[in-house]
């Protein structure tokens, strides 16, 4: 892949990568961002307006549909495993953009924050490449099936405040991935697809770290503002996300990722109360 002509400004370079539409070109661009930042080749500039990114760089396909239009398929069929991998590929591609947006958008954070989220972007690009390679081994490719835009809609919902972004993207969306991945891996092994399960195991390992970074920077923001983190998190679930964190929880993974036993118990209680309310 050719070397990307990176701007000297961290935010301009990150925006350039964020807007790349071709998956291979985006992977190449992202792979160069973190080394350039760590080498001191990218500097933080105070100039420039932060743009609202209503449409990040993504290919023309897959077609985006409403979540309820997504078909559920059984994993014991090849088409079901392809559908699962396609959904994961779409999540990982969006996760690249989410990590880049976290760097580009929020400019008041310490340097370590940008190092963390450039690392996340690079790892999400690696995940996408792994999943896409497995899709191709099964005779499919990213873009062959429809997908939904829920992840980027959460980016738009949280683009006004880094505290809200850290609370509701890593600690809700990515943490939900921690919960659902172990059962998927077990089911894939049951149907004889250990190769795909091994790909998901790599993703799960790295996603624990991503959620842990989110927890760290969320608590950092809470400390700066004099806010109690766990109570504030529950308030954001009610007022911004307007939904509880859904279980069942992968307790071991969430504990490693910065949740406490007490917080998990509180989140389970919040889910139970919300379910009771909507049944009335």
Which pLDDT score, from 0 to 100, does residue 276 have?
56
Q: What is the pLDDT of residues 82-109, one digit of tens each?
A: 999 999 999 999 999 999 999 999 999 9
CA atoms of 114 and 104, how far apart (whole Å): 9
Please indicate, yes or no, if residue 5 is contained in any of the structural domains. no
pLDDT, residue 15, reads 95
Question: What pLDDT is recorded for position 278?
Answer: 43
Residue 269 pLDDT: 87
Residue 224 lies in a domain: yes
175, part of any domain: yes
Question: Which CB contacts under 8 angstroms, 24+ apart, belong to 63-66?
Answer: 63/146, 63/147, 64/146, 64/147, 64/148, 64/149, 65/146, 65/147, 65/148, 66/148
Residues of the chain with pLDDT under 70: 1-7, 47, 275-280
- Residue 115 lies inside a defined structural domain of this protein: yes
The answer for residues whose C-beta is within 8 angstroms of residue 200's C-beta and 6 or more apart is 88, 181, 184, 185, 188
What domain range includes position 98? 10-279
Quote the pLDDT of residue 73.
Answer: 77
The answer to whether residue 33 sits within a structural domain is yes
Q: Is residue 1 part of a domain?
A: no
- Please tell me the total count of domains within the chain: 1
In a domain, 3, yes or no: no
pTM score of the predicted model = 0.93
- Give the CA dihedral 55, 61, 63, 68, nearest 10 degrees: -90
pLDDT of residue 45: 85
For residue 244, what pLDDT is reported? 78
Does residue 127 lie in a domain region? Answer: yes
pLDDT of residue 6: 57
CATH number of the domain residue 55 falls in:
1.20.1260.10
Per-residue tokens: 170: 């890593």
């Amino acid at each position: 892949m050719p070397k990307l002509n990176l701007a000297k400004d961290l935010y301009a370079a990150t925006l350039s990568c964020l807007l790349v539409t071709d998956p291979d070109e985006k992977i190449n661009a992202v792979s160069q961002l973190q080394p350039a930042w760590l080498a001191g080749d990218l500097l933080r500039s105070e100039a420039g307006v932060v743009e609202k990114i209503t449409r990040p760089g993504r290919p023309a396909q897959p077609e985006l549909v409403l979540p309820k239009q997504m078909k559920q398929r059984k994993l014991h069929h090849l088409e079901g495993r392809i559908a699962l991998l396609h959904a994961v590929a779409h999540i990982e591609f969006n996760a690249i953009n989410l990590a880049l947006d976290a760097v580009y958008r929020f400019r008041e954070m310490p340097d370590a924050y940008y190092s963390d989220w450039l690392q996340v972007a690079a790892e999400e690009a690696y995940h996408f490449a792994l999943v896409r390679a497995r899709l191709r081994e099964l005779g499919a490719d990213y873009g062959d099936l429809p997908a939904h835009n829920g992840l980027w809609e959460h980016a738009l919902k949280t683009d006004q405040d880094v505290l809200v972004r850290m609370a509701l993207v890593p600690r809700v969306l990515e943490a939900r991935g921690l919960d659902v991945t172990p059962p998927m891996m077990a089911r894939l092994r049951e149907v004889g697809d250990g190769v795909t399960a091994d790909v998901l195991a790599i993703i799960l390992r790295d996603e624990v770290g991503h959620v842990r970074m989110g927890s760290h920077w969320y608590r950092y923001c809470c400390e700066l503002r004099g806010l109690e983190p766990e109570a504030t998190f529950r308030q954001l679930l009610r007022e911004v996300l307007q939904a509880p964190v859904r279980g069942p929880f992968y307790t071991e993974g969430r504990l490693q990722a910065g949740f406490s036993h007490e917080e998990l118990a509180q989140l389970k209680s919040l889910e139970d109360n919300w379910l009771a309310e909507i049944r009335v």
